[in-house]
Amino acid sequence: MDHDRIARLLEQAQAIAPLKSWPRYEVDHAVFDEIGRVIGEGERELLGLWAEPGMVHMALRRIGEDPCVVSTVVIDDRFPSIGRWHAPAIRLERTIHDLYGYVPEGAEDNRPWLDHGAWEIESPLGGRTSSALRDPADYAFLPVHGEGLHQIPVGPVHAGIIEPGHFRFTANGEIVARLEERLGYVHKGIDALTTDAPLDRAARIVARVSGDSTVAASFAFACAIEAALGFAAPPRAAGVRGVIAELERLANHFGDIGAVCNDAAFALIHAYCGILRERVLAVCEAVFAHRLMMDVIVPGGVAANITHDGARLILSTLDDIAPTFADIIRCYEDTPSLQDRTCNTGYLAPELAKRFAPGGYVGRASARDFDARRDLAYAPYSGRAFDVPLFTTGDVDARVRVRIGEVLASMQLVRDLLATLPDGPVLTPIPQISEPREGMAITEAFRGDLLVWLRVMPDGRVARCHVRDASWLQWPLLEAVIENNIVADFPLCNKSFNCSYSGHDL
Amino acid sequence: MRTLLLRSLFAKPATIDGPAPADAALEEVGRALEARVRRLYGRSLTIREVDAGSCNGCELEIHALNNPVYDVERFGVRFVASPRHADVLLVTGPVTRNMSVALARTYAATPDPKWVVAVGDCGCGCGVFEGSYAVVGAVEKVVPVDLSIRGCPPRPIDLLKGLVALVEKATQALPRKE
């Protein structure tokens, strides 16, 4: 195996035993900084950057290999900035500063990110010093200079039925010269709520990080717990989890394909996709007693089984919707006025996708060939063949086509999983442990890879839990793709990304 | 496209039958109306949805109200883009500290008489986010609430029942024509 620079740096570092599934290394500030520099040069992808009291962790992945975690101890409330070398880390570092008060040394952007001055405390997970309320509008947007430029502030309350966030457009006539996002409006303090929490409570909170990815988040949380405690869900539970995860993907992709077309003023596909989404959710309710399948995946297995009738209902629904979906694809492909809006709009360059490692359709529409289901091969996907559509055109159209391909692949996966669903129990009791353990898991949500890292205590409580939604690495790219597009195409670009606000704001 | 259009012409409607208004909601709305200016809504309500901190689960189900299956517009209920056009604010929560100013301003921007409907277990209580430094809590802690629709998230049919009750009562509360 060839050794890149980071592998050599980590060779000398100490691998900490308690993290399960993947190694965690503890390094000093100099090595942490050096690793940051090398990541900035394009060696390895940054999957996450988060803190706990006294420690900062980052998750890395070398293409084609398993991820690892590199940690460094916080000294005098400081740690070396990764963002100075690697732009995707900037918002993650600003978040660490807001939540813990730890200063990323050498970082250029020191503005608060999630802290809008409304919490009445500073560093809620660190020093917890009380602070005076600030005007939430008092935020230093990056200065924009130029003749004929004007600004359009949008949000936090948007026109549609969507989550809150602020977009500051700087436009030259119709053309967007720059978009700057300001997020954090739906920050609910999830990192604090999952600190020292009973296992079932932590699981319920993680399931509500982002409603559209509730299954994927519960899935990752359960896998992380199982990795940490060294046990596995029964084979039937793994199969049921797969079916649930794919149904969630189907429902979301149907919604997204319709919504993108709707934002291009093509309501016909939106109406049909709405019906398909509704069909899937109705089946979910019939089989799992919850339309979004919240809290169905639990550590140790699943809380709902698929009965014989349930499986039949799922299959007959797929049989029903497949022809309609084929018509929808044909309609999308045969309508030049629609493609006129989606093709070449919101272009994301493959180089940027490589650098930011955005998961899901955002990455796979711009040549980033990664799907956690295939590349990190967790149960029940290990050993299964399924299509992972890949495009290089990087526009709204490519992101729609990735979703179309994934819908077809998911429908096939559901059929395969149901056909090979083993008999047996669906829940394994959670084993006792005698020392604190750490676990990490990554699942493929409809939006992209979702990472959960956690530490469990012997009494079964979750000491610390961090959820990193794919949105963290996708939001900054939305700023890049809208550049030089017309303002009216922003909804189209935004919907083609469909980043989560809640999953990002935590 | 022709195939899809033709099929739409000849297919049965995807829309389900409208539900009867929920009893509990009827009672709650009735009470809210007694104390309010009785105004002619003409069986038509315009709604501005405000996400004041939800996980997006409630939004997904509110969205579903507009799809062909639930088709909320047939009851005279329409979602509008601005609070200035709205009779009703449909608010999901828990209200985060970072959103409380925006919610209060949205309420202020909505013309009187207006109603507020709190949606979801978080909007009606605080849900699993109880006790966080970052949330204010239920919607009623920031703006007065007239109707609560619980659920995590409430199903579209539950939302529909609540809204139908709202329209129903609004019509009944009209001064009788001479």
Tell me the pLDDT tens digit for each residue of B48-86.
999 999 999 999 999 999 999 888 888 778 899 999 999
pLDDT of residue A198: 94
Q: Which of A208, A218, A324 has the most B C-beta neighbours within 10 Å, making it the best mutation to test the interface with B?
A: A208
Q: Which fold has domain A5-130?
A: Beta Polymerase; domain 2 (3.30.460)
pLDDT of residue A48: 95
Contact A272 B129 (CB under 8 A): no
**Chain A window 120-139: which residues touch B at a Cβ cutoff of 8 Å?**
120-121, 124, 136
Helices (H), A181-234: 190-193, 199-206, 214-229
pLDDT of residue B36: 45
CATH code of the domain made up of A190-294+305-505: 1.10.645.10
How far apart are the CA of B176 and the nearest CA of chain A, in angstroms? 36
State the pLDDT confidence band at B41, using cuts at 50, 70 and 90: low
The CA-atom distances, in angstroms, between B38 and each of A312, A374, B31 are 52, 61, 12
Span B118-139, average pLDDT: 92
- Could you report the predicted ipTM of this complex, rounded to two decimals? 0.92
Q: With contacts defined as CB-CB under 8 Å, which chain B residues touch A116? A: 97-98
Which segments in chain A show pLDDT lower than 50? 1
Whether the CA torsion A409, A411, A416, A422 is positive or negative: it is positive
Q: Parse chain B into domains and list their residue ranges.
A: 39-172
Size of interface A-B (CB pairs under 8 A): 157
State the pLDDT confidence band at B169, using cuts at 50, 70 and 90: low
Tokens linked to A74: 């916080």
Q: Which fold has domain B39-172?
A: Rossmann fold (3.40.50)
Residues belonging to chain B: 178
pLDDT of residue B15: 81
- Antiparallel, parallel or unpaired: β B88-92 and B95-96: unpaired
- Give dist(CA A281, CA B91) in Å, integer: 23
pLDDT of residue B40: 47
Contact B3 A331 (CB under 8 A): yes
What's the distance, Cα to Cα, between the start and end of chain B in Å? 52
| Region for B113 from its dihedrals, namely left if φ exceeds 0, alpha if ψ lies in -120 to 50, beta otherwise | beta
Q: Parse chain A into domains and list their residue ranges.
A: 5-130, 190-294+305-505
A417 and chain B: CB distance < 8 Å anywhere? no
Q: Which of A135, A161, A275, A506 has the most B C-beta neighbours within 10 Å, making it the best mutation to test the interface with B?
A: A161
pLDDT of residue B43: 62
